[in-house]
Amino acid sequence: MVRMDETLLAWLDAHAEELDTNTAEADGLLARLAQANLFTVAVPERDGGDARAPSAAVDVIAALAEHSLSAAFVFWAQRAFMACLLASPNRDLVQRLMPDLLHGRLAGAPGLSNAMKFLGGLDRLRIAGVPTPDGVRLNGAVSWATNLRRQGFVAAIAVGDEHGDNPSVFALPHDAPGVAREPDLDLLALRGTNTAALRLDDVALEASWQIHPQARVFLPGIRPTFVGLQCGLGLGLACASLRAARAALDGRPSVLSGEVDALDADIAAYRRTLASGLDDGSLRERPRDLLALRLRMVALASDAVALELQALGGRALLRTDNGGYARRAREAAFLAVVTPTVAQLKGDLQRC
Ligand SMILES: Cc1cc2nc3c(=O)[nH]c(=O)nc-3n(C[C@H](O)[C@H](O)[C@H](O)COP(=O)(O)OP(=O)(O)OC[C@H]3O[C@@H](n4cnc5c(N)ncnc54)[C@H](O)[C@@H]3O)c2cc1C
């Protein structure tokens, strides 16, 4: 298990509501995660990491999500961008960006939902690129991206040709002329995550920013990492809700105790299955099983939040005295709609 920095966890406990409901702590969050040395976890040694197994990064996400899903999702965004970069054949770009990403000086934003949906036949590409002598000229938009920190970010985007096909993947620096970061989206939860849209108006990007020339090859390769890491989000949230449910029951015999124990056991078994399948690489060969685990993660979290509600009773609906239940209910709602959404997962599983 990764040892988590107790100072960071205490800070998250003190600021979890704020991170969920406003933007006051948004710009400092990444630096705090970096100070705790979390971005080196499960990154290859030659790229500045600790070379741990992939499940160690899932453990970090789960540990953060127990305290604040906003923090866990910002960690995921940074780590997902780093995973894109680490899979890139463009080693110059990797070496140029990795040190700042590892230290939280640069924020990485994976703006790839559109491309994932495009590959699934569910959307058209929203960014078009025209080749120039030394790169590409871009127009379009990214509807959603997290970790668009105001001090600076780099976003991973998919760029189609003039026919809206043959996407490639680029890293888009925040200060390229023609890039506009919109104001934060008016979210119901996770407001401290720097989540906004981007507009691209005649952005000239050199070829040195290309992550991969073929998104159709690159994205299916990176998707298991994105999805595997996301499983930690629901794991951590489920553990937090079950702990709150137990605290509410306060050791008294309850009609709910059996369900709490059973869900606890389910979560432990889930964690073991996920970790062994990620670490021995077998889940990469079994995409259906990975998608089923990803879908199950949402159910575990929502079942745990439902048990927390039942254990708290009416107190759960008190605005100022619900012990974090209201935030966790909003966080659980987010898990159902983050790409791949529950609807997309159901579609993918039907096709598999
Ligand atoms: C706080 C927050 C942060 C986010 N951060 C990022 C980010 O960093 N990067 C990023 O790229 N995106 C991000 N997103 C966007 C998000 O991950 C999803 O892309 C988006 O919320 C889901 O798209 P959608 O609304 O079209 O829902 P979908 O679930 O795709 O679409 C809903 C509709 O489509 C239908 N549908 C879905 N799948 C199928 C199918 N297979 N067959 C038939 N019909 C189907 C459903 O029935 C439903 O009617 C973020 C969102 C939130 C809320």
Residue ID of nearest Cα to ligand 1 atom 40: 347
Q: Whole-structure pTM over 0.95, yes or no?
A: yes
Output the 3-class SS for the chain.
Answer: CCCCCHHHHHHHHHHHHHHHHCCCCHHHHHHHHHHCCHHHCCCCHHHCCCCCCHHHHHHHHHHHHCCCHHHHHHHHHHHHHHHHHHCCCCHHHHHHHHHHHHCCCCEEEECCHHHHHHHCCCCCCCEEEEEECCEEEEEEEEEEECCCCCCCEEEEEEEECCCCCCCEEEEEECCCCCEEECCCCCCCCCHHHCCEEEEEEEEEEEHHHEEECCHHHHHHHHHHHHHHHHHHHHHHHHHHHHHHHHHHHCCCCCCCHHHHHHHHHHHHHHHHHHHHHHHCCHHHHCHHHHHHHHHHHHHHHHHHHHHHHHHHHHHHHCCCCCCCHHHHHHHHHHHHHCCCCHHHHHHHHHHC
Cα of 343 from ligand 1 centre, angstroms: 8
Cα of 338 from ligand 1 centre, angstroms: 6
Convert the pLDDT of each residue in 323-348 to its tens digit: 999 999 999 999 999 999 999 999 99
Would you kindly state where each structural domain of the chain is located, as residue ranges? 6-107, 109-213, 216-351
pLDDT for the residue numbered 143: 98
Residue ID of nearest Cα to ligand 1 atom 1: 190
CATH topology classification for 6-107: Butyryl-Coa Dehydrogenase, subunit A; domain 1 (1.10.540)
pLDDT exceeds cutoff 90 at 183: yes
pLDDT exceeds cutoff 90 at 15: yes
Residue ID of nearest Cα to ligand 1 atom 42: 347
Average pLDDT over every residue of 69-90: 98
Percent of the chain with pLDDT over 70: 100
Convert the pLDDT of each residue in 108-135 to its tens digit: 999 999 999 999 999 999 999 999 999 9
CATH number of 216-351: 1.20.140.10
Average pLDDT over every residue of 59-84: 98
Which residue ranges have their beta carbon within 6 Å of ligand 1?
77, 109-113, 122, 144-146, 187, 190, 193, 195, 334, 337-339, 341, 343-344, 347
Convert the pLDDT of each residue in 191-208 to its tens digit: 999 999 999 999 999 999
Atom of ligand 1 nearest to the CA of 195: 3
Average pLDDT for the chain: 97
Cα of 143 from ligand 1 centre, angstroms: 10
Average pLDDT over every residue of 286-315: 97
Cα of 339 from ligand 1 centre, angstroms: 5
Cα of 78 from ligand 1 centre, angstroms: 19
pLDDT for the residue numbered 1: 80
Cα of 18 from ligand 1 centre, angstroms: 25
Average pLDDT over every residue of 2-9: 95
Instruction: Count Cα atoms within 13 angstroms, Cβ side, for 218.
Output: 25
Residue ID of nearest Cα to ligand 1 atom 25: 337
Average pLDDT over every residue of 236-255: 96
CATH topology classification for 109-213: Butyryl-CoA Dehydrogenase, subunit A; domain 2 (2.40.110)
Convert the pLDDT of each residue in 265-293 to its tens digit: 999 999 999 999 999 999 999 999 999 99
User: 146 exposed, middle or buried (CB, 10 Å; 0-12, 13-18, 19+)?
Assistant: buried
Please provide the distance, in angstroms rounded to a whole number, between the alpha carbons at the two ends of the chain.
Answer: 33
pLDDT for the residue numbered 2: 87
Atom of ligand 1 nearest to the CA of 339: 17
